[in-house]
Protein backbone atom coordinates (compact mmCIF):
# COMPACT_ATOMS: atom_id res chain seq x y z
CA UNK A 1 0.00 0.00 0.00
CA UNK A 2 1.31 3.45 -0.92
CA UNK A 3 -0.07 6.41 0.95
CA UNK A 4 -0.52 9.58 -1.06
CA UNK A 5 -2.23 12.88 -0.34
CA UNK A 6 -3.32 15.64 -2.71
CA UNK A 7 -3.28 19.29 -1.70
CA UNK A 8 -4.34 22.39 -3.56
CA UNK A 9 -1.64 25.06 -3.43
CA UNK A 10 -2.19 28.61 -4.66
CA UNK A 11 0.83 30.18 -6.38
CA UNK A 12 1.00 33.90 -5.69
CA UNK A 13 3.97 34.48 -7.96
CA UNK A 14 5.63 32.77 -10.88
CA UNK A 15 7.06 29.43 -9.89
CA UNK A 16 9.49 27.10 -11.65
CA UNK A 17 8.09 23.99 -13.29
CA UNK A 18 7.44 21.38 -10.65
CA UNK A 19 8.50 17.76 -10.78
CA UNK A 20 5.82 15.86 -12.69
CA UNK A 21 5.68 13.34 -9.87
CA UNK A 22 4.90 16.13 -7.39
CA UNK A 23 2.48 18.47 -9.13
CA UNK A 24 -0.19 16.33 -10.75
CA UNK A 25 -2.52 19.07 -12.01
CA UNK A 26 -3.03 22.81 -12.20
CA UNK A 27 -5.99 25.13 -12.71
CA UNK A 28 -4.97 28.76 -13.17
CA UNK A 29 -2.84 29.76 -10.20
CA UNK A 30 -3.77 26.69 -8.16
CA UNK A 31 -1.53 23.64 -8.37
CA UNK A 32 -2.39 20.19 -7.07
CA UNK A 33 0.54 18.61 -5.30
CA UNK A 34 0.87 14.93 -4.48
CA UNK A 35 2.67 14.03 -1.30
CA UNK A 36 3.79 10.41 -1.06
CA UNK A 37 4.82 8.54 2.05
CA UNK A 38 7.08 5.66 1.02
CA UNK A 39 8.04 5.06 4.68
CA UNK A 40 4.48 3.84 5.30
CA UNK A 41 5.55 0.31 4.42
CA UNK A 42 8.13 0.37 7.21
CA UNK A 43 5.60 1.14 9.92
CA UNK A 44 4.48 -1.64 12.27
CA UNK A 45 1.17 -3.19 11.22
CA UNK A 46 -0.67 -1.54 14.12
CA UNK A 47 0.52 1.93 13.08
CA UNK A 48 -0.35 1.21 9.43
CA UNK A 49 -3.87 0.32 10.51
CA UNK A 50 -4.09 3.52 12.59
CA UNK A 51 -2.94 5.62 9.63
CA UNK A 52 -5.46 3.88 7.38
CA UNK A 53 -8.40 4.48 9.71
CA UNK A 54 -7.39 8.10 10.29
CA UNK A 55 -7.41 8.55 6.52
CA UNK A 56 -10.86 6.97 6.29
CA UNK A 57 -12.10 9.24 9.09
CA UNK A 58 -10.86 12.35 7.28
CA UNK A 59 -12.72 11.24 4.13
CA UNK A 60 -15.89 10.60 6.14
CA UNK A 61 -15.92 14.05 7.77
CA UNK A 62 -14.86 15.94 4.63
CA UNK A 63 -18.45 16.92 3.64
CA UNK A 64 -18.95 18.68 6.99
CA UNK A 65 -16.68 21.61 6.14
CA UNK A 66 -18.55 22.28 2.88
CA UNK A 67 -21.78 22.34 4.85
CA UNK A 68 -20.26 24.71 7.42
CA UNK A 69 -18.82 27.08 4.84
CA UNK A 70 -22.04 27.58 2.88
CA UNK A 71 -25.68 26.62 3.09
CA UNK A 72 -25.38 25.49 -0.54
CA UNK A 73 -21.82 24.15 -0.44
CA UNK A 74 -22.53 20.46 -0.02
CA UNK A 75 -25.26 20.50 -2.65
CA UNK A 76 -22.97 22.24 -5.14
CA UNK A 77 -20.21 19.72 -4.43
CA UNK A 78 -22.47 16.74 -4.97
CA UNK A 79 -23.99 18.17 -8.14
CA UNK A 80 -20.61 18.69 -9.79
CA UNK A 81 -19.30 15.33 -8.62
CA UNK A 82 -22.30 13.53 -10.11
CA UNK A 83 -21.65 15.25 -13.44
CA UNK A 84 -18.03 14.11 -13.36
CA UNK A 85 -19.07 10.57 -12.41
CA UNK A 86 -21.53 10.39 -15.31
CA UNK A 87 -19.95 12.37 -18.17
CA UNK A 88 -21.58 10.46 -21.05
CA UNK A 89 -23.49 12.88 -23.23
CA UNK A 90 -21.98 16.01 -21.65
CA UNK A 91 -20.47 18.52 -24.06
CA UNK A 92 -16.65 18.05 -23.80
CA UNK A 93 -15.95 21.78 -23.67
CA UNK A 94 -18.47 22.33 -20.87
CA UNK A 95 -17.21 19.21 -19.07
CA UNK A 96 -13.68 20.64 -19.02
CA UNK A 97 -14.92 23.90 -17.49
CA UNK A 98 -16.95 22.02 -14.87
CA UNK A 99 -13.98 19.76 -14.05
CA UNK A 100 -11.69 22.76 -13.52
CA UNK A 101 -14.19 24.52 -11.27
CA UNK A 102 -14.79 21.32 -9.29
CA UNK A 103 -11.06 20.94 -8.64
CA UNK A 104 -10.91 24.50 -7.31
CA UNK A 105 -14.04 23.81 -5.25
CA UNK A 106 -12.36 20.75 -3.72
CA UNK A 107 -9.10 22.57 -3.04
CA UNK A 108 -10.81 25.44 -1.23
CA UNK A 109 -13.70 23.49 0.32
CA UNK A 110 -16.12 25.80 -1.44
CA UNK A 111 -16.14 28.68 -3.92
CA UNK A 112 -14.04 31.14 -1.89
CA UNK A 113 -10.25 31.15 -2.10
CA UNK A 114 -8.81 29.66 1.08
CA UNK A 115 -6.03 32.26 1.23
CA UNK A 116 -7.70 35.49 0.08
CA UNK A 117 -11.36 34.65 0.88
CA UNK A 118 -12.16 36.04 -2.57
CA UNK A 119 -15.05 34.33 -4.33
CA UNK A 120 -14.14 32.66 -7.61
CA UNK A 121 -16.65 32.13 -10.40
CA UNK A 122 -17.02 29.30 -12.92
CA UNK A 123 -16.29 29.75 -16.59
CA UNK A 124 -19.28 27.66 -17.61
CA UNK A 125 -22.71 29.22 -18.11
CA UNK A 126 -25.92 28.26 -16.34
CA UNK A 127 -27.16 26.73 -19.59
CA UNK A 128 -24.02 24.56 -19.84
CA UNK A 129 -24.41 23.41 -16.23
CA UNK A 130 -28.10 22.64 -16.71
CA UNK A 131 -27.41 20.63 -19.86
CA UNK A 132 -24.57 18.73 -18.17
CA UNK A 133 -26.65 17.95 -15.07
CA UNK A 134 -29.52 16.75 -17.25
CA UNK A 135 -27.20 14.46 -19.22
CA UNK A 136 -25.67 13.11 -16.01
CA UNK A 137 -29.12 12.45 -14.55
CA UNK A 138 -30.13 10.55 -17.68
CA UNK A 139 -26.99 8.41 -17.46
CA UNK A 140 -27.48 7.74 -13.74
CA UNK A 141 -31.14 6.79 -14.18
CA UNK A 142 -30.36 4.41 -17.04
CA UNK A 143 -27.63 2.67 -15.04
CA UNK A 144 -29.80 2.38 -11.94
CA UNK A 145 -32.70 0.90 -13.91
CA UNK A 146 -30.44 -1.49 -15.81
CA UNK A 147 -28.85 -2.72 -12.58
CA UNK A 148 -32.28 -3.21 -10.96
CA UNK A 149 -33.48 -5.30 -13.91
CA UNK A 150 -30.26 -7.32 -14.12
CA UNK A 151 -29.50 -7.87 -10.43
CA UNK A 152 -32.88 -7.71 -8.68
CA UNK A 153 -35.18 -9.33 -11.22
CA UNK A 154 -37.24 -6.14 -11.64
CA UNK A 155 -39.88 -6.29 -14.40
CA UNK A 156 -38.70 -3.78 -17.05
CA UNK A 157 -42.36 -3.00 -17.80
CA UNK A 158 -42.88 -1.83 -14.20
CA UNK A 159 -40.35 0.92 -13.65
CA UNK A 160 -41.89 3.92 -11.89
CA UNK A 161 -40.75 7.17 -10.35
CA UNK A 162 -41.99 9.17 -7.38
CA UNK A 163 -40.56 11.71 -4.96
CA UNK A 164 -41.38 14.69 -2.79
CA UNK A 165 -40.38 18.36 -3.29
CA UNK A 166 -37.04 18.36 -5.16
CA UNK A 167 -37.51 14.62 -5.64
CA UNK A 168 -40.98 15.31 -7.03
CA UNK A 169 -39.54 17.82 -9.49
CA UNK A 170 -36.89 15.31 -10.53
CA UNK A 171 -39.59 12.69 -11.04
CA UNK A 172 -41.50 15.13 -13.21
CA UNK A 173 -38.43 15.82 -15.33
CA UNK A 174 -37.78 12.09 -15.63
CA UNK A 175 -41.32 11.58 -16.95
CA UNK A 176 -40.28 13.58 -20.01
CA UNK A 177 -36.58 12.84 -20.27
CA UNK A 178 -37.02 9.10 -19.73
CA UNK A 179 -40.45 8.54 -21.21
CA UNK A 180 -38.99 5.65 -23.19
CA UNK A 181 -38.99 3.27 -20.24
CA UNK A 182 -40.85 4.81 -17.29
CA UNK A 183 -44.30 3.23 -17.00
CA UNK A 184 -45.86 5.80 -14.67
CA UNK A 185 -44.79 8.76 -12.53
CA UNK A 186 -46.44 9.94 -9.29
CA UNK A 187 -44.80 13.19 -8.06
CA UNK A 188 -45.71 14.37 -4.54
CA UNK A 189 -45.39 18.18 -4.48
CA UNK A 190 -43.40 17.97 -7.68
CA UNK A 191 -43.94 18.27 -11.43
CA UNK A 192 -41.89 20.54 -13.71
CA UNK A 193 -40.77 24.13 -13.36
CA UNK A 194 -40.29 24.28 -17.12
CA UNK A 195 -41.32 21.61 -19.59
CA UNK A 196 -38.49 19.27 -20.54
CA UNK A 197 -38.32 17.66 -23.99
CA UNK A 198 -40.09 14.30 -24.16
CA UNK A 199 -37.59 11.57 -24.97
CA UNK A 200 -39.80 9.57 -27.33
CA UNK A 201 -43.21 10.17 -28.85
CA UNK A 202 -43.84 6.44 -28.85
CA UNK A 203 -44.74 6.33 -25.15
CA UNK A 204 -45.78 8.83 -22.50
CA UNK A 205 -45.88 7.66 -18.85
CA UNK A 206 -49.16 7.78 -16.96
CA UNK A 207 -49.07 10.73 -14.53
CA UNK A 208 -50.67 11.20 -11.13
CA UNK A 209 -49.71 14.49 -9.48
CA UNK A 210 -50.24 15.19 -5.76
CA UNK A 211 -50.00 18.64 -4.22
CA UNK A 212 -51.42 20.84 -1.48
CA UNK A 213 -52.98 23.51 -3.65
CA UNK A 214 -52.29 27.20 -3.03
CA UNK A 215 -50.61 26.48 0.31
CA UNK A 216 -48.06 24.19 -1.36
CA UNK A 217 -45.42 26.85 -1.88
CA UNK A 218 -41.65 26.52 -1.29
CA UNK A 219 -39.87 28.98 -3.62
CA UNK A 220 -42.20 27.78 -6.40
CA UNK A 221 -45.90 26.93 -6.45
CA UNK A 222 -46.22 23.16 -6.58
CA UNK A 223 -49.80 23.47 -7.76
CA UNK A 224 -48.36 25.27 -10.79
CA UNK A 225 -45.46 22.84 -11.36
CA UNK A 226 -47.92 19.94 -11.14
CA UNK A 227 -50.16 21.58 -13.76
CA UNK A 228 -47.12 22.19 -15.98
CA UNK A 229 -46.35 18.47 -16.03
CA UNK A 230 -50.00 17.42 -16.36
CA UNK A 231 -50.67 19.71 -19.31
CA UNK A 232 -47.53 18.63 -21.16
CA UNK A 233 -48.21 14.92 -20.76
CA UNK A 234 -51.90 15.26 -21.63
CA UNK A 235 -51.02 17.21 -24.78
CA UNK A 236 -48.60 14.40 -25.71
CA UNK A 237 -51.38 11.83 -25.43
CA UNK A 238 -50.75 10.60 -21.89
CA UNK A 239 -53.25 9.81 -19.15
CA UNK A 240 -53.03 12.29 -16.26
CA UNK A 241 -54.69 12.58 -12.87
CA UNK A 242 -54.35 15.54 -10.50
CA UNK A 243 -54.92 15.31 -6.73
CA UNK A 244 -55.17 18.55 -4.74
CA UNK A 245 -55.32 17.39 -1.11
CA UNK A 246 -55.06 20.97 0.23
CA UNK A 247 -52.73 19.92 3.03
CA UNK A 248 -49.58 21.87 2.25
CA UNK A 249 -46.13 20.83 1.06
CA UNK A 250 -45.43 17.08 0.89
CA UNK A 251 -48.32 16.40 3.26
CA UNK A 252 -50.21 13.88 1.15
CA UNK A 253 -52.55 11.80 3.36
CA UNK A 254 -51.99 8.06 3.73
CA UNK A 255 -55.03 7.31 1.56
CA UNK A 256 -53.46 9.28 -1.28
CA UNK A 257 -50.19 7.33 -1.02
CA UNK A 258 -52.22 4.14 -1.25
CA UNK A 259 -54.05 5.47 -4.32
CA UNK A 260 -50.73 6.44 -5.90
CA UNK A 261 -49.39 2.93 -5.41
CA UNK A 262 -52.54 1.43 -6.93
CA UNK A 263 -52.22 3.86 -9.85
CA UNK A 264 -48.70 2.68 -10.59
CA UNK A 265 -49.61 -1.01 -10.36
CA UNK A 266 -52.51 -0.44 -12.77
CA UNK A 267 -50.19 1.18 -15.35
CA UNK A 268 -47.40 -1.11 -16.55
CA UNK A 269 -45.47 0.12 -19.55
CA UNK A 270 -47.63 0.36 -22.66
CA UNK A 271 -50.85 -0.84 -21.01
CA UNK A 272 -53.87 -0.86 -23.35
CA UNK A 273 -56.66 -0.05 -23.04
CA UNK A 274 -56.29 2.65 -20.39
CA UNK A 275 -57.51 0.95 -17.16
CA UNK A 276 -59.08 4.16 -15.83
CA UNK A 277 -60.72 5.29 -19.06
CA UNK A 278 -64.20 4.92 -17.58
CA UNK A 279 -63.31 6.74 -14.36
CA UNK A 280 -61.09 6.58 -11.30
CA UNK A 281 -61.53 3.70 -8.85
CA UNK A 282 -64.25 4.26 -6.24
CA UNK A 283 -61.75 4.08 -3.38
CA UNK A 284 -59.65 6.98 -4.75
CA UNK A 285 -59.85 10.24 -2.74
CA UNK A 286 -62.63 12.50 -3.97
CA UNK A 287 -60.18 15.36 -4.58
CA UNK A 288 -58.49 13.37 -7.36
CA UNK A 289 -59.74 13.95 -10.89
CA UNK A 290 -58.66 13.27 -14.44
CA UNK A 291 -56.76 16.31 -15.68
Q: Domains plus CATH for the chain?
A: 3-130 (no CATH), 157-290 (3.40.50.1820)
8 A C-beta contact, residue 257 and residue 285: no
pLDDT of 20 reads: 56
Backbone angles phi, psi at 57, to 5 degrees: -65, -40
pLDDT tens-digit readout, 108-137: 999 999 889 999 999 999 999 988 988 887
> What's CA 217's distance to the chain center, in Å?
21
Strand 30-37 and strand 23-27: pairing?
antiparallel
Q: What band does 148 get if pLDDT is binned at 50, 70 and 90? A: confident
Please, are residues 193 and 174 in contact by the beta-carbon 8 Å criterion?
Answer: no
Q: Are 179 and 203 in contact (CB under 8 A)?
A: yes
* pLDDT per residue as tens digits for the range 1-35: 343 444 444 444 344 444 556 888 999 888 888 88
Q: Could you give the CA distance from residue 35 to residue 5 in angstroms, rounded to a whole number?
A: 5
Q: Which of 179, 91, 103 is nearest to 135 (CA)?
A: 91
- Range 52-64 average pLDDT: 91
Amino acid sequence: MRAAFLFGVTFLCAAPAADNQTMVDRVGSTGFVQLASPSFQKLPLKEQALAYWLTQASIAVDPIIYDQNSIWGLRQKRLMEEILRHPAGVDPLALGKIADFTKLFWANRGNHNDTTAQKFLPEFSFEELHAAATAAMRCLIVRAAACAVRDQGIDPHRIYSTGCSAGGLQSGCMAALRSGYLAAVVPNSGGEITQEPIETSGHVPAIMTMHGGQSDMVVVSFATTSATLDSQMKAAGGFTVDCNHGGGHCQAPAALYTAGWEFMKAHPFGVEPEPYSSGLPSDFPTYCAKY
